[in-house]
């Protein structure tokens, strides 16, 4: 097999080493935009919202856990907007030193503060007629929130230490992993600013809620890494893929990317092997899956029941997705659901309602 191309990974290949196929059926097509990879219904909903809001100038607030791809989505919004030919200016507010956020965003005049030996334009001016992406917006101090609110309301600001108003035409996209509504209720975030930022919210699902995207993402990162490191790895070993599918991914897509890169470095040429030690117990969102499955010295039947229940939870009752992960047909999964008394009327109706049965 030659150099891999980021096309389609089929769950059927899990009978052996997992590789890339040229399947072109509609159910196997990857969807994505601006480097976003996946085919899950959760991702499709996100991309549909992105495509609807991108051509407008509405402010977008992207929420989601750390590592879910918020900046990637912000870039996709910019690329699909009428401002695509202009700058996208990303700023991580968490990385801006304490007390310098206002100068970072709005610039400063010479002598505005100790060490300001010359005037400097801020990110709003750099992003004029383009898009400004403010990540970790929940980190803003109250005084900077006031200044940001004024820009959104009036389209103008003064540099720190200056008196001249500067007008800008900027589309604002923000992101956070915090519960901003809770921050508003507790008085740490201005309600009026929140309403300005939250004109069009988009929530990115955690990776554990889109397990069918894990093989596609893993193959995508594998292709990137083998090209970067000039390695001859042609696919992901079967046991390793199952290990990736069963993990809870507290660090989401970023953690998956890091695991694949580390595994490429450690693996011999041929197939990628993901060591169990690369996947520590999940530390956010509860115990790791392995700990959960084997808690209390369960019988083999109980372990099977817990695992199927786990899959139905993360796939939100989607029998087709859960069956694909288990590498069984949906009839077999349906019998397991009934055997372990995991079924509900909704699940049965969904199974019976599929047109290909």
pLDDT tens digits for range 89-116: 999 999 998 888 999 999 888 877 777 7
**Cβ proximity of 272 and 260 under 8 Å:** yes
Distance CA(214)–CA(236), nearest Å, equals 12
Structure tokens that stand for 197 in this block: 């930022």
Is 194 within a domain?
Answer: yes
138-141-147 Cα angle (round to 5): 105
Tokens matching residue 255: 């953690």
Same domain, 199 and 300: no
Residue 51's H or E segment, with its range, is helix 41-53
Is residue 283 a part of any domain in this protein?
Answer: no
Whole-angstrom Cα distance, residue 102 to residue 289? 44
Q: Quote the tokens at residue 125.
A: 């001016």
| Average pLDDT for 25-49 | 74
| Tokens, residue 338 | 């009934």
Which residue range forms the structural domain that includes residue 344? 296-357
Q: What's the length of the chain? A: 357
The reply to whether 165 falls in a domain is yes
144-163 in b/e form (b: 16+ CB < 10 A) is bbebbbebbeeeebebbebe
- The pLDDT tens digits of the residues spanning 291-323 come to 566 677 777 778 778 888 877 877 767 787 777
Whether residue 332 is found in the same domain as residue 195: no
Residues 192 and 89 placed together within one structural domain of the fold = yes
Closest CA to 216 of 163, 265, 248, 256: 256
Domain with residue 317: its CATH number is: 1.10.10
What's the total number of domains in the chain?
2
What is the Cα–Cα distance from 319 to 309, expressed in whole angstroms?
11
Which of 156, 181, 203 marks a domain boundary?
Answer: 203
Distance from C-alpha of 93 to C-alpha of 298, rounded to nearest angstrom: 47
State which of 203, 218, 240 marks the end of a domain: 203
- Coil, strand or helix at 176: strand
What percent of the chain is predicted at pLDDT more than 90? Answer: 53
Q: Same domain for 196 and 312?
A: no
Look at the block and give the residue holding tokens 């899959």.
311
DSSP β-ladder status, 156-158 and 165-167:
antiparallel
- Whether residues 191 and 309 share a domain: the answer is no
Residue 267 domain-assigned? no
Q: Specify the range with the lowest mean pLDDT, choosing from 149-153, 184-188, 294-298.
A: 294-298
Residue 196 shares a structural domain with residue 300: no
193 φψ region: left (φ > 0), alpha (ψ -120 to 50), beta (else):
alpha
- Residue 86: HSE in the Cβ half-sphere, 13 Å Cα cutoff: 18
pLDDT at 357: 25
Give yes or no: residues 301 and 194 share one domain.
Answer: no
Is the dihedral angle over the CA atoms 157, 50, 75, 316 positive or is it negative? Answer: positive
- Residue 236 falls within a domain, yes or no? no
Measured CA to CA, the distance from residue 178 to residue 157 in angstroms comes to 27
The confidence band for 32, taking pLDDT boundaries of 50, 70 and 90, is low
Residues 196 and 309 in one domain: no
In this structure, what are the phi and psi dihedrals at residue 8, rounded to the nearest 5 degrees? -115, 135
In a domain, 77, yes or no: yes
Q: What is the mean pLDDT of the chain?
A: 81
Question: To which residue do tokens 């100038």 refer?
Answer: 57
Output the domain CATH number for residue 99.
Answer: 3.40.50.300
In the numeric block, which tokens belong to residue 298?
Answer: 């369960």
133: enclosing H helix or E strand:
strand 131-135
Q: Which long-range contacts (CB under 8 A, 24 or more apart) does 39-44 make?
A: 39/212, 39/213, 39/216, 40/210, 40/211, 40/212, 40/213, 40/321, 41/318, 42/205, 42/209, 42/210, 43/205, 43/210, 43/213
The structure tokens listed for 322 are 């859960």
pLDDT in tens, 318-349: 787 777 777 677 788 888 888 888 854 343 33
Q: Residue 6's pLDDT band (boundaries 50, 70, 90)?
A: very low
pLDDT attached to residue 73: 96
Query: Does residue 230 form part of some domain?
Result: no
Of 182, 203, 224, the position where a domain reaches its end is 203
Whether 179 is covered by a domain: the verdict is: yes
């Amino acid at each position: 097999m030659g150099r891999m191309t980021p096309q389609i990974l089929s769950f059927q290949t899990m009978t052996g080493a997992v590789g890339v196929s040229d399947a072109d059926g509609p159910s196997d097509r990857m969807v994505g935009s601006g480097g976003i990879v996946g085919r899950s219904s959760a991702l499709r909903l996100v991309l549909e919202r992105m495509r609807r809001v991108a051509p407008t100038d509405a402010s977008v607030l992207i929420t989601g856990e750390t590592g879910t791809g918020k900046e990637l989505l912000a870039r996709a919004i910019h690329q699909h907007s009428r401002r695509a030919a202009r700058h996208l200016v990303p700023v991580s507010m968490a990385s801006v030193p304490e007390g310098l956020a206002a100068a970072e965003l709005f610039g400063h005049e010479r002598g505005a503060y100790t060490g300001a030996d010359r005037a400097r334009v801020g990110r709003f001016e750099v992003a004029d007629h383009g898009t400004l992406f403010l990540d970790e917006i929940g980190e803003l101090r109250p005084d900077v929130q006031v200044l940001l609110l004024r820009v959104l309301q009036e389209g103008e600001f003064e540099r720190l230490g200056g008196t001249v108003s500067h007008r800008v035409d900027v589309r604002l996209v923000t992101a956070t992993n915090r519960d901003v509504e809770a921050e508003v209720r507790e008085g740490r975030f201005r309600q009026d600013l929140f309403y300005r930022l939250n004109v069009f919210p988009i929530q990115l699902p955690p990776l554990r809620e889109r397990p069918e995207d894990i093989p596609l993402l893993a193959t995508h990162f594998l292709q990137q890494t083998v090209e970067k490191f000039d390695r001859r790895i042609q696919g992901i070993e079967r046991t390793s893929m199952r290990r990736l599918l069963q993990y809870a991914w507290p660090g989401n897509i970023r953690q998956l990317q890091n695991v694949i890169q580390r595994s490429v470095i450690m693996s011999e040429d041929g197939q990628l092997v993901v060591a169990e030690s690369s996947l520590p117990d999940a530390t956010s969102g509860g115990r790791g899956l392995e700990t959960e499955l084997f808690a209390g010295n369960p019988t083999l039947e109980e372990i099977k029941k817990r695992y199927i229940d786990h899959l139905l939870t993360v796939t939100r009752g989607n029998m087709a997705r859960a069956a694909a992960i288990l590498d069984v047909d949906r009839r077999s999964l349906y019998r397991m659901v009934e055997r372990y008394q995991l079924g509900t009327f909704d699940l049965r109706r969904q199974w019976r309602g599929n047109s290909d049965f």
